[in-house]
């Protein structure tokens, strides 16, 4: 009887989790574009952060 109750509870939990999936993490570039569009950051800051996200670092900022 206990095993049947646990099985029903597990099925109920699984059904609820499938109905309400976790939200995916936002895309960093999309967040950056939203911040630029809202005026939170300026174009120069946007370019610097976008390049850092892409893995492109200016020559003067490289570290070993």
Cα–Cα distance, 54 to 36 (Å, whole number): 17
pLDDT given for residue 20 in this prediction: 86
Whether residue 59 has pLDDT greater than 80: no
Structure tokens at 16: 């609820």
Tell me if 51 sits within 8 A of 57, measured CB to CB: yes
Helices 43-54 and 28-37: angle between axes, nearest 10 degrees: 180
pLDDT given for residue 62 in this prediction: 55
pTM passes above 0.75? no
Whether residue 64 has pLDDT greater than 80: no
pLDDT in tens, 4-55: 999 999 999 999 888 888 888 889 999 999 999 999 999 999 999 999 998 8
């Amino acid at each position: 009887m206990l095993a049947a109750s646990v099985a029903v509870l597990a099925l109920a939990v699984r059904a609820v989790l499938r109905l309400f999936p976790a939200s995916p993490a936002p895309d960093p570039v999309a967040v950056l574009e939203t911040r630029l569009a809202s005026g939170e950051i300026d174009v120069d800051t946007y370019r610097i952060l976008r390049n850092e996200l892409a893995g492109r670092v200016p020559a003067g900022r490289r570290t070993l």
